[in-house]
Amino acid sequence: MDDYSMLVKLRLNLFVVFSSVLAYFIVAGSTVSWLHVGLIAIGGFLITSAANTLNQVLEKDFDKLMTRTANRPLAAGRMKVSEAVIFAGLTTIIGVVLLAMINPLVVLLSMLSLVSYAFLYTPLKRHSTLAVAVGAIPGALPVMIGGVAAEGQLTLIISCLFFIQFLWQFPHFWAIAYLAFDDYHAAGYKLLPVDSNDNIDSKLGLHASLYALLIIPFVVMLYISGEASIIASIVSGLMALVYLYMSLNFYITTERRTALGLMFSSFIFLPVVLISYWVL
């Protein structure tokens, strides 16, 4: 079971399900269907499991080169590629069947997430820093999927939640990639902008700050449109300002300490924002 937990990236997978279910609650309001909540949670978990499995199938030879991924079951040789591919196929089929019980758009968005993560983001990581932007799309789709499961169509609140989660990922990922730069570099991943000497671009923190700043208009938009209460908007706005501050701090002094601060603030930001929109 430990190998399968690693194969599906269990903690990341549960966070994906968490954000999707919270988005469902935010959009559904008082009209919650617990059947749909269960379908979103289980179906989303299965589709995400398939995407993460395919990611490791495609990257098994590169995972061997990185300290933090060398012990993954495929990279370490404890699991056959055929076993992983069959597992990915089964989880995809079952996940699609479950999500189809909600509405077709949920299935479409879920498959878009799987395909873009496994077959666009994964191979692009070794060729271009654009992989971060491409990967942020499936990274933000869970909230859209949860919202569409509740509403049946795209709405302003769903779009704003999507863009908040989309933009949140850039400072979050760059902080992690900065801390693991040597590992990524050893595997040939081009996830951080570098200069001609292969050193990390000194403007990385500035780029992170710009994306953090862009979150604020969507927080304001949710309040102005009446989709969010003033209390939820204040909480989310304060969290966005803290996130911006930590990003600027990373820009002013780009080092391990500030990268850790930005990374930990990113872990706190999204759950607090989503929960505030749900309960406040």
> Do 209 and 261 belong together in one domain?
yes
Domain boundary among 120, 135, 150: 150
Report residue 154: phi and psi, to 5°: -80, 135
Helices within the chain (DSSP H only): 2-7, 10-28, 34-63, 81-100, 104-115, 122-124, 131-151, 156-179, 181-187, 204-224, 230-252, 256-279
> Do 85 and 171 belong together in one domain?
no
> Do 53 and 118 belong together in one domain?
yes
Give the separation between CA 164 and CA 266, rounded to whole angstroms. Answer: 12
> Do 136 and 207 belong together in one domain?
no
How confident is the model over 139-186, as pLDDT tens digits?
999 999 999 999 999 999 999 999 999 999 999 999 999 998 888 888
> Do 129 and 193 belong together in one domain?
no
> Do 142 and 160 belong together in one domain?
no
Give the separation between CA 102 and CA 88, rounded to whole angstroms. Answer: 22
How confident is the model over 60-114, as pLDDT tens digits?
998 898 888 889 999 998 999 999 999 999 999 999 999 999 999 999 999 999 9
- Please give the C-alpha separations between residue 250 and each of 198, 206, 236, in angstroms, as whole numbers: 19, 8, 21
Burial class (CB in 10 A: 0-12, 13-18, 19+), 269: buried
How confident is the model over 212-238, as pLDDT tens digits?
999 999 999 999 999 999 999 999 999
- CA 15-102-51 angle, to 5 degrees, is 40
Domain boundary among 150, 173, 192: 150
Host domain of residue 12: 1-150
CATH number at residue 145: 1.10.357.140
> Do 198 and 81 belong together in one domain?
no
> Do 140 and 170 belong together in one domain?
no
> Do 110 and 174 belong together in one domain?
no
> Do 247 and 146 belong together in one domain?
no
Report residue 32: phi and psi, to 5°: -80, 130
pLDDT tier for residue 263 given thresholds of 50, 70 and 90: very high
Domain boundary among 135, 150, 165: 150
